[in-house]
């Protein structure tokens, strides 16, 4: 009561007491790969001859028949309207058929959710499966988005680091040591971003059987499945262990195989109840994926693969070139990647040295020195849960790749 006997007005919390940005969103780390790519592009725009090895993005144009399908779709009025949130029925059916044809997995279209790129698939899967207090076993090195999406769901990632000495592939013993009563899921990414490591069929099956035994969900990111080399063969965990069907989610998309990163079409495959719940989330989050992009993805999945195989041949050539050149640099250990389009050298043999007048103690400092003095952009291993490494994407022109690595070699040889 105030002096007049009237009730005192309720106090209004100070905006400063709450903070302008929510703690949940404020805690998100920027995508390191996109940040490096953006910085490289900004320096190039400022006139510096920077060569970027940062973004995992094919440098090829999207194949012509896919672009033509999109142009035709753009002129069709039916694509100017909302469509089902879970995806165009014909695209969901094509994804199911491609999964059956390529992986030998029988999938009903009702088990498919079309998403705005692979990242939305990752985010929605974790949001759908995880509750606060849950844990996800996350083999490291890992893609930068995984831990952020896990934390946004209120859960916690449990990194399991496999180094260059074991080909960046975790053992079941390592995974078992990380398992607790709170373990809800394990993340599988083979072929791997950032290392290019590929699990063989028995390794995939062993992981799947272990997860099945302990009632753990397997979330398998398979977006690099068509990018393998040296006789390495991709194996889907659900093909290796069909009994996982009720506790397994597959993530995929057209971005890497068909040079369609900008079209933003990915998908999630899983049990019908999980897909229905994730589709419900998507109906409130983004509604449907752009119809023209969905029509383009349909053309990619049902059309010829010639252009994709030509790109794969180029990636293989660049892979051999970058491994040879990086391995010749004193202090770098470079396991040969058998998939994706990344080299992930261990650079601990370089740390502690003076480079261009500055002692570098971490891979983040090394990446900064290489960008500043060699004008080459690579992503430091800290972003992938693996300090002491650098990631170089070899999805760039052959001449740029050679010049870029030669610049790095020259800088480190001073």
Cβ partners under 8 Å of residue 253, min gap 6: 115, 117, 118, 121, 223, 265, 266, 267
Question: Which residues in the chain land under pLDDT 50?
Answer: 1, 3
Q: Which of 76, 96, 157 is nearest to 301 (CA)?
A: 96
pLDDT of residue 55: 81
CA torsion through residues 192, 62, 32, 28, sign: negative
Apex 295 CA angle, 293 and 300, nearest 5: 95
pLDDT at res. 15: 53
DSSP 339: B
Q: Quickly list H helices, 201-358.
A: 201-213, 237-240, 272-285, 291-302, 306-327
Q: What pLDDT is recorded for position 202?
A: 98
Closest Cα to residue 325, out of 227, 246, 241, 401?
401
Geometric angle at alpha carbon 274, from 272 and 280, rounded to 5°: 100
DSSP 8-state assignment for residue 132: T
pLDDT digits (tens, 9 = 90+) for 203-226: 999 999 999 999 999 999 999 999
Say how far apart CA 188 and CA 132 lie, in whole Å.
21
pLDDT at position 390: 97
Long-range CB contacts (< 8 A, 24+ apart) of 161-164?
A: 161/385, 161/386, 163/346, 163/386, 164/333, 164/335, 164/344, 164/346, 164/389
Q: Distance (Å, rounded) from C-alpha 158 to C-alpha 138?
A: 6
Please enumerate in sequence order all residues whose Cβ is within 8 A of that of 38, keeping only pairs 6 or more positions apart, or say none: none
Instruction: With H, G, I as helix, E, B as strand and everything else as coil, classify residue 128.
Output: helix
pLDDT confidence of residue 274? 98
Using one digit for the tens of pLDDT, what is the confidence trace for 340-397?
Answer: 999 999 999 999 999 999 999 999 999 999 999 999 999 999 999 999 999 999 999 9
Q: What angle do CA 180, 184, 189 make, to 5 degrees?
A: 105
Neighbours of 181 (CB within 10 A): 5
Nearest to 83 by CA among 357, 243, 297, 247: 297
| Separation CA 172–CA 101 (nearest Å) | 30
Residue 228 CA to residue 8 CA, distance in Å, equals 71
**How many CB atoms sit inside 10 A of residue 89's CB?**
12
Q: How many whole angstroms separate alpha carbon 215 and alpha carbon 285?
A: 30
Report the predicted TM-score, pTM, of the whole model to 2 decimal places. 0.93
Give, in order, the Cα–Cα distances in Å from 38 to each of 129, 380, 414: 32, 15, 28
pLDDT value of position 301: 98
* Helices 291-302 and 64-74: angle between axes, nearest 10 degrees: 140
Distances (CA, A) of 384 to 32, 47, 131, 236, 263: 9, 30, 24, 23, 25
Backbone φ and ψ of 364, nearest 5°: -65, -40
């Amino acid at each position: 009561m105030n002096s007049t006997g009237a009730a005192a007005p309720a106090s209004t919390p100070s905006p400063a007491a709450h903070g302008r940005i929510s703690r949940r969103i404020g805690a998100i780390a920027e995508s390191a790969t996109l940040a490096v790519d953006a910085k490289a592009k900004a320096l190039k725009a400022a006139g510096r001859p920077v060569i970027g090895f940062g973004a995992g993005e094919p440098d090829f144009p999207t194949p012509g028949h896919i672009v033509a399908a999109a142009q035709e779709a753009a002129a069709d009025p039916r694509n100017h309207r909302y469509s089902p949130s879970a995806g165009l029925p014909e695209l969901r059916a094509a994804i199911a058929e491609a999964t059956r044809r390529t992986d030998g997995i029988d999938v009903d279209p009702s088990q498919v959710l079309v998403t705005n790129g692979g990242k939305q698939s990752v985010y929605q899967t974790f949001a759908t499966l995880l509750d606060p207090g849950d844990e996800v076993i996350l083999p490291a090195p890992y893609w930068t988005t995984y831990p952020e999406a896990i934390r946004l769901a209120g859960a916690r990632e449990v990194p399991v680091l496999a180094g260059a000495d074991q080909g960046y592939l975790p053992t079941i013993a390592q995974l078992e040591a990380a398992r607790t009563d709170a373990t809800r899921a394990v993340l599988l990414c083979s072929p791997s971003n950032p290392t290019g490591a590929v699990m063989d069929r028995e390794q995939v099956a062993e992981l799947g059987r272990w997860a099945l035994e302990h009632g753990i969900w397997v979330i398998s990111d398979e977006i690099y499945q068509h990018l393998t080399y040296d006789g390495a063969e991709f194996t889907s965990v659900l093909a290796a262990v069909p009994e996982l069907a009720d506790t397994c989610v597959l993530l995929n998309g057209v971005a890497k195989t068909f040079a369609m990163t900008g079209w933003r079409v990915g998908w999630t495959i899983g049990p019908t109840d999980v897909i229905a719940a994730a589709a419900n989330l998507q109906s409130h989050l983004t509604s449907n994926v752009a119809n023209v992009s969905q029509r383009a993805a349909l053309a990619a999945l049902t059309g010829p693969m010639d252009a994709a195989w030509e790109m794969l041949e180029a990636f293989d050539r660049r892979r051999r070139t970058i491994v040879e050149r990086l391995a010749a640099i004193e202090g770098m250990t470079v396991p040969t990647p058998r998939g994706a389009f990344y080299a992930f050298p261990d650079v601990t043999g370089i740390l502690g040295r003076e480079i261009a007048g500055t002692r570098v103690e971490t891979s983040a400092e090394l990446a900064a020195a290489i960008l500043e003095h060699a004008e080459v952009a690579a992503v430091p291993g800290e972003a992938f849960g693996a300090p002491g490494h650098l990631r170089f994407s070899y999805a760039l022109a052959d001449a740029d790749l050679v010049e870029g690595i030669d610049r790095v070699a020259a800088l480190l040889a001073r």
